[in-house]
Structure 1
Amino acid sequence: MSSYASLLKTPGVARIIAAQLTARFPNGMLSLAFLLHIEHITGSYGSAGLVLAATSVGQAVAGPVTSRWMGVWGMRRVLVLTIAVSAAMTAVIAFVEMSVPAYMVVGLIVGLSSPPVQSAVRTIYPKMVNSRQLTPLFALDASAQEIIWVAGPVITTFVALQFSTVAAIVLALAFLIFGGAWFVLSPEVGRVRIPRSRRKLGKVLTKRAVLLSTITGFLLLGACSAVEASVVSAFGHDGLEGGLVLGIFAIGSLIGGLALGHLPVSPWSMARRMFAVFVGMALALFSLDFWWLAVTLLIAGIGIAPAFGVMSAIVTSSVKFSDTAEAYGWVGTGQLIGAALGSALAGFLIDLNGPSGGFLVAATFAFFGFLFPTLFRRWHPDLRGRDASPIPDTEPVYTQPS
């Protein structure tokens, strides 16, 4: 814990973590708010899953593109544009009743305009701390973001239950606007300049660590999205149990991140963390009892934040600084495609077989999320005793002949 305390004393670190968490807080609210809102209007979890899938696909397409734009136009310009468009389209979903295809189109635009806050902040981090502090900082960031998943579902469920699903979306919208403004105005966002990448779009995926993180993130988020839909369908709209179970799920991730985040990163680190996720989700298949799900998803959660921390560390250490934002964009794209597929598959199986069908989807994603980094552990950098900073961008130096 002392390493985390020293990190928070580093100038600007606590502020930038708080600002980006606030800006990203809607990530823990909007999926559930959209799910509740669309299901309330249409009466179908499958229809709601399609809207969430469209939103996630939009985010997946935009991720590497908007992240790369930050190296061309600057972070602030890209962030302001995407925040404005995303906020406007989120308001449309909240206040305009439409057909499911129309909701899907608007959801797609919400996804396409998703602000690349995560890519921005993880590109900024290596410029704020020394190389020894970078891996613990990624772990602290991954752990702290679980506050989003602890409080977000609980707040969303409570507001939707006590007021309306529209109010839940509007509250998420307020976080998007306020948090986005706070992050954009942070000095570090204006101070750090991402060099223009000289590689073609997508070339960074030839780095094995980036591809490993992208595919594993795809599987991890697919599992998590299926769990979210399954928990909501298991407990419905008549109480806070669903939000509480999802909050406990995130608390497990927070505990795991703080307990394991400072450990050295070895080639087995990703597989070990994903094994905990798989075990917890597999156990969740056996009962829909509140306490059973709370315990099993607590176990599953223990591996999530540490897995995200490992992804960040191995990506950063494997690419040039000018490519870090795009690399994180691709990792985010993998996660969001997984979220789209997990939500859609879980939604349809829930309609057919009830919540157990959704948990089966989650356990299947988690199993392959464990299997892939196990089979391809040679793609996983060994960072024990190594510098996790990005590779410096270098240019040839021309000299005049003497």
Structure 2
Amino acid sequence: MIAAQLIARFPNGMVSLAILMHVEQATGSYGNAGLVLAVTSIGQAISGPVISRWMGKWGMRPVLLISMVICALAISAIALSPASMPLYITFGFIAGISNPPIQSAVRTIYPKMVTAKQLNPLFALDASLQEIIWIIAPVLITFIVMQISTTIGLWVIVTILVLGGLWFIYSPEVGRVRIPQSRRALGKVLTRPAVLLATIMGFLLIGACAAVEAGVIATFGHSEDGGHGGGLEAGLVLAVFSVGSLIGGLFSGRLAISQWAMARRLLIVTAGLAVIPFFVNPSWAGQPYAIGAALTIAGLGVAPALAVIFAMTTASVKFSDTAEAFGWVATGQLIGAAAGSAVAGFLIDGIGPSGAYIAAAGFAGLGLIIAVLAVRGFPDLRFRDASPLPDTAPIRTVI
């Protein structure tokens, strides 16, 4: 199940950068590319909670299959379209609004697959492996785009989306778990402080990661003669970010999640990212090593912070509301990826690669501030598991 959902969600870590680079190369402007990403993010904002909620009404398999097909067709259309902003905007919106809610589905299934005590370690493991999506996937798409073309990169995304999606959709666990239809109004789940905070934290954390990716591409993605020879160096620098996150995620699985867990983990991310703008100097031979070291430190807090997001969401809602809750969380992360790339793109156009790292530190720093100010809204899971709240409860009677 972990492998299937990772492959199915792999395109989420590729599509923002692929569209960013495809539109930038076609139109010659990072600003235009950022506009297409913004429209795509609007579609994702609409689709996340709505389509996730539909899984409780019509079942996971039909909803996932139909949305996957529409999304694949929209991304294919972007690859085939001429350099036209109206077409890019239209198909980008369709791709965003039809994004399959794989994350919502698998997060809903997990509590039914393991015991309550195993749930926190499972979320930590899943958060670590999720780095394959948010870190390794951009490395792969960057290499493909730099060495071949942006069009081929989009076709690779479509292929993985379809094959991974079919693998996950027809997994036995997806057929066995039935999500009860929520009785609450759409969006009501956001009135729970933990769900709202998880959505905001996901937006800011993934936004920081996306800005880092754009900054690394701008810093190392092109060789001195204007070619694409630096693509491999960009991939290696991003890879050390992944290594740090994997180490942090695996270690955090043994740690209890307190109300201050998010603030502590975001402090590590912010500290690592805040020093990078001082290392952006193309004439300095040690630049890749300095940026790589800072990213390794920052990465130590990424997967642990994601583990907190998953655990606090599950522990704060009823099982019938978990799909919608994770739909909002997924929406926050996907919009964060698009927003981070878009903001970084505009700053790269304005002040150069250092602007992207400033944006990344800004996203993470804002998350840290919110985590400190709203610490009472985070659940204390040191003395309880992360299982969803029961949809029914025993009624105390007097005999």
TM-score band, normalised by shorter chain: over 0.9
Number of the residue aligned with 1:183: 168
Number of the residue aligned with 1:5: none
Deviations along 1:74-99, one digit per CA (max 9) or x if unpaired, are 00010001100000011011121232
What is the letter of the counterpart of residue 257 of structure 2? V
Residue from 83, 99, 106 that aligns with 2:84: 99
Q: Does 1:295 align with 2:293?
A: yes
Matches within 5 A, 1:1-400: 16-237=1-222, 238=228, 239=230, 240-288=232-280, 289-394=287-392
Number of the residue aligned with 2:225: none
Query: What is the deviation of 1:33?
Result: 1.7
Query: What is the deviation of 1:243?
Result: 2.1
Q: Secondary structure at the match of 2:48?
A: helix
Asked if structure 2 preserves the Cα contact closer than 8 Å seen for 1:215 and 1:334, the reply is yes
Query: What is the deviation of 1:57?
Result: 2.2
Asked if structure 2 preserves the Cα contact closer than 8 Å seen for 1:276 and 1:300, the reply is yes
Query: What is the deviation of 1:334?
Result: 2.1
Q: Secondary structure at the match of 2:369?
A: helix
Query: What is the deviation of 1:151?
Result: 3.0
Asked if structure 2 preserves the Cα contact closer than 8 Å seen for 1:57 and 1:336, the reply is no
TM-score, reference length from structure 2: 0.92
Asked if structure 1 preserves the Cα contact closer than 8 Å seen for 2:26 and 2:83, the reply is no
Q: Distance in 2 between matches of 1:244 and 1:169?
A: 22
Deviations along 1:236-262, one digit per CA (max 9) or x if unpaired, are 342222222222212211111011122
267-276 or 341-350: bigger deviation: 341-350
Deviations along 1:110-151, one digit per CA (max 9) or x if unpaired, are 111100000000000000000000000011111111122343
Asked if structure 1 preserves the Cα contact closer than 8 Å seen for 2:260 and 2:372, the reply is yes
Q: What is the aligned length?
A: 382
367-376 or 334-343: bigger deviation: 334-343
Structure 1: gaps (5+ residues): 1-15, 398-402
Asked if structure 1 preserves the Cα contact closer than 8 Å seen for 2:48 and 2:101, the reply is yes
Asked if structure 2 preserves the Cα contact closer than 8 Å seen for 1:54 and 1:340, the reply is no
What is the letter of the counterpart of residue 260 of structure 1? S
Asked if structure 2 preserves the Cα contact closer than 8 Å seen for 1:57 and 1:340, the reply is no
Asked if structure 1 preserves the Cα contact closer than 8 Å seen for 2:40 and 2:95, the reply is yes
Asked if structure 2 preserves the Cα contact closer than 8 Å seen for 1:53 and 1:339, the reply is no
What is the letter of the counterpart of residue 66 of structure 2? L
TM-score, reference length from structure 1: 0.92
Change in CA separation of 1:70 and 1:341 when aligned onto 2, cut-off 3 Å: same
Q: Distance in 1 between matches of 2:173 and 2:127?
A: 19
Structure 2: gaps (5+ residues): 223-227, 281-286
Detail structure 1 runs of 4+ shifted over 3 Å in the superposition. none
Q: Secondary structure at the match of 2:390?
A: coil
What is the letter of the counterpart of residue 323 of structure 2? A
What is the letter of the counterpart of residue 376 of structure 1? A
318-327 or 93-102: bigger deviation: 93-102
Asked if structure 1 preserves the Cα contact closer than 8 Å seen for 2:17 and 2:341, the reply is no
Query: What is the deviation of 1:390?
Result: 0.2
Asked if structure 1 preserves the Cα contact closer than 8 Å seen for 2:320 and 2:391, the reply is yes
Asked if structure 2 preserves the Cα contact closer than 8 Å seen for 1:149 and 1:247, the reply is no
Asked if structure 2 preserves the Cα contact closer than 8 Å seen for 1:150 and 1:248, the reply is no
Query: What is the deviation of 1:230?
Result: 1.5
Asked if structure 2 preserves the Cα contact closer than 8 Å seen for 1:20 and 1:183, the reply is yes
Q: Distance in 2 between matches of 1:44 and 1:247?
A: 27
Change in CA separation of 1:335 and 1:197 when aligned onto 2, cut-off 3 Å: same
Query: What is the deviation of 1:307?
Result: 0.7
Q: Distance in 2 between matches of 1:159 and 1:343?
A: 18
